[in-house]
Copies of this chain bind each other. A is one copy, B any other.
Amino acid sequence: MNAPLRLGIAGLGTVGIGVVKTVRQHSALLSARTGRDVSITAVSARSRDKDRGVNLSAYAWEDDPVALATRDDVDVYVELMGGTDGPAKASVDAAIAAGKDVVTANKAMLAIHGQSLAEAAETAGVSLRYEAAVAGGIPVIKALTEGLAGNDITRIVGVMNGSCNYILTRMESAGLSYDEVFAEADGLGYLEADPQLDVGGIDAAHKLAILSSIAFGTRVDFDGIELEGIERVSINDIRHADDMGFKIKLLGVAQRTGRGLEQRMMPCLVPATSPMGQLQGGTNMVAIEGDAVEQIVLRGPGAGEGPTASAVMGDVCDIARGVRLPVFGQPAASLEQADRATAVLPAPYYLRMSLVDKPGALAKIATVLGDAGVSIDRMRQYEHDDASAPVLIVTHKTTRADLNTAIAAMKSTSVLLSDPVVLRIESV
């Protein structure tokens, strides 16, 4: 039996307590599987006195996570506080500098500082692992970095924010507005302290940026993501999309194009019958496409005490077993800065517009689309009882540039009553 592996855990919220419970409950299992005892020596959190439902008196307490991260009796620093900078970043920096292995669930920190952290960790010869940062309990980092290492990865597509998927599927099932379901989700504690991180797509985009880096051998480029949240998705669009055989999902897509790396996180339509279209509630799903493997799809709980602790413990077990890998799957120094490509790849689009209820209005819209080279796959005009006629169009594949030309032309026709809703249709 090798020497015990000693954890120092900073952050005793849902995930941190989940990790504490797992280490305690599964000590025999962990030592059988890793060949050494896994134990906790010290913990840190904002408040020492808070009742967390578990007795922490066996562990040393540090008020300062930096002090925790650098303790002599800590081998692995487990950072579960969150936040792009602040104590999380300072303590991870300190842990790496002190030669400690690091496990973190902090997607924001990695999406912003991933490159410098990876370089620091690799220079110091320590592990920096973050399975819990992406898609909760799904071992997607491992699948991508290790299991599919023999593939040229061609595309990543995923639903990676459970709260947004909860809101969108709940709007549909309960027939409620975005604002109503948002309030409900917030009340249930389903949203981050800053809900904009969820509904603005930022949290999901952090995750996408991390997956992109591994998939394409590029430096994490969060700012290169075309980003749009779900705040403007209306129950009308959900219903109309359903009517045409689609569901609306906050979908992340990363794909190499001839002009660079295209990364998008935005509400999209996906076929209602596809695995992604059928995804309900807070579940996450990531599809990985590679030249050899074709497509694999991973599905599981995107958050929660158990699933996130499971991901953290997967990393801890790897470290205990002596597994050492480059942070993003190849040495950080060899990661390239990807050219950013935006809206290069053509796709079909869904358009919803309100037209003045006069003869020839629809013909004008069809004409400007045709003039811009955008061909119409399906068009529907819905019944209405006022002067505004709701019209839906599904286009054939088109570039966003051609579509923008068409929309600009529409706006000058005087038949359009408001800006059209435009949603990309993604095949998954």
Contacts and interface: CB of A to CB of B under 8 A. Distances in A.
A294 B312 contact: no
Contacts of A35: 326, 331
A294 B321 contact: no
Interface class of chain A by DSSP: mixed
Contact of A296 (B131, B137, B146, B294): B137
Contacts of A137: 292-294, 296
Contacts of A47: none
A34 interface: yes
Contact of A307 (B142, B293, B306): B293
A26 B318 contact: no
A149 B292 contact: no
A138 B297 CA distance: 9
B299 A22 contact: no
Contact of A32 (B18, B151, B295, B330): B330
Contacts of A293: 137, 300-301, 306-307, 310-311
Contact of A299 (B131, B142, B150, B275): B275
A290 B275 contact: no
A293 B307 CA distance: 4
A168 interface: no
A137 B147 CA distance: 9
Contacts of A131: 147
Contact of A33 (B149, B310, B318): B149
A217 B309 contact: no
Copies in the complex: 2
Given A139-B148, A147-B131, A309 B292 contact: yes
Contacts of A323: 146, 323, 325
A26 B150 contact: yes
A292 B14 CA distance: 13
A200 interface: no
Interface of A: 18, 22, 25-26, 29-30, 32-35, 131, 137-139, 142-143, 146-152, 217, 275, 278, 290-301, 304, 306-307, 309-314, 316-318, 321-326, 329-331, 334
A143 B143 contact: yes
A399 B382 CA distance: 54
Of A30, A290, A300, A322, most B-chain CB atoms within 10 Å:
A300
A326 B312 CA distance: 20
Nearest to A334: B32
A149 B124 CA distance: 26
Given A293-B300, A301-B293, A310 B151 contact: yes
21 contacts: A25-B152, A26-B152, A30-B150, A32-B331, A33-B149, A33-B326, A33-B330, A34-B149, A137-B294, A139-B147, A143-B147, A146-B146, A146-B317, A148-B310, A148-B314, A150-B313, A290-B310, A292-B306, A294-B304, A297-B298, A299-B299
A31 to B, nearest CB: 9
Contacts of A290: 310
A333 to B, nearest CB: 11
Given A32-B330, A137-B293, A142-B142, A150 B317 contact: yes
A321 B295 CA distance: 24
A322 B146 CA distance: 12
